[in-house]
Amino acid sequence: MSRFLRCGFDFRKTLGRLVVGVACASLAVMALLSVANAASAATGAASPEVQKSLRVYFVDVEGGQATLFVTPEGQSLLIDTGWDGNGGRDADRIVAAAKSAGLTKIDYVLITHFHEDHVGGAPQLAARFPIGTFIDHGGNRETGDAPTVQGWQAYQAMLATGKYTRISAKPGDVVPIEGMHVEVISSDGDLIAKPLAGAGEENPACKESEPRPADKTENLRSLGTLITFGKLRLLDLGDLTWDKEMELMCPVNKLGHVDVYIVSHHGWQQSSSPALVWAIAPRVAIMDNGAKKGGTPSTWDIIEKSPHLENLWQVHYSEEGGAAHNVAAEFIANSQGTDAGNYLELIGYADGGFDMFNSRTQETKKYPAR
């Protein structure tokens, strides 16, 4: 039995989500149990695939962001929409991931900030696929940058159709999605005031991070979230900049450890200070870089030196990184010189374990719960 077993999503049209979730889960569990029983009869071992999983697609949008979360019950959250233009390339890739996950609608689309590599693809996506609610940090704060203003205006025009619900979120808010916990850490330049439960230890990596001047763009406005699925913790701060990371993480670590760090700002040197990366101490970091965007060598070094890191994964080979600052080929979705739109997928389990799948190699690496 492959992990690509799909539920009967046609049920959804007639029974509603809750019933479907149960029906799907039951069907899947029944199918898997029958296989597991056969397997355990042969090996004496139960199949670990019986666990319900969170699925996270790291769609290749060529140096922008588009990260799709799908809960076991079929609720969905997309963080950012890639770029505008290119004949709808990024929207098409997001739709392909959504359909692969069995979705007929994306429940929530979270726009981290109003730069064109994050909000640009929203109108094209909305033209192709049903969306429920948009979540953002409020208004565009970078009114002197023409591409940002253009992306913001297109987003506003789309909201003005009245087809969508819109939520502007503040730190401490929780996205009303079921099946996983999504807490807002940063928004519009504001940060959570107090450490999260279990966090708040002094952060020795603050000494290793030089202070930097305050960013003046939309980047520091990024709507950042901590996503929890059972014991599994994933951090996504959009393009939040170094100065805000230090404010968030010094002198005490307000986040605690995470399992997965979705690398801020495509692995560009304006983000990923040691104060952030070494303190959250991820097992895996996933970098949504493009061939020629992000993946700065100094940032790559900081991530690779993180104390508990098992692997860094890259959506693209980084041209700037060259031979010395790229991970081994098996951890890269798009090799040097190609633009195949390959994606990475994380399959997360409530016990804290997860798998990483590379659509280029078709290989899966397991990270069992610790």
Residues that bind Zn ion (CB under 5 A): 117, 239
C-alpha angle 352-354-360 in degrees, rounded to nearest 5: 165
CB closer to Zn ion out of 253 and 289: 289
Shortest Å, Cβ 364 to Zn ion: 28
Shortest Å, Cβ 265 to Zn ion: 6
| Token code pair at residue 107 | 């429940």
CB closer to Zn ion out of 90 and 239: 239
| Token code pair at residue 149 | 């203003």
C-alpha angle 350-165-126 in degrees, rounded to nearest 5: 85
| Token code pair at residue 197 | 């439960």
Q: 203 and 250 in contact (C-beta within 8 Å)?
A: yes
CB closer to Zn ion out of 103 and 277: 277
Residues 241, 244, 136, 102, CA torsion sign: positive
Shortest Å, Cβ 226 to Zn ion: 19
Residues 222, 127, 107, 155, CA torsion sign: positive
Shortest Å, Cβ 266 to Zn ion: 6
In order of 34, 55, 125, the CA distances from 120 in angstroms are 46, 24, 10
CB closer to Zn ion out of 71 and 219: 219
CB closer to Zn ion out of 117 and 320: 117
Shortest Å, Cβ 241 to Zn ion: 11
Q: Phi and psi at residue 368, in whole multiples of 5°? A: -60, 155
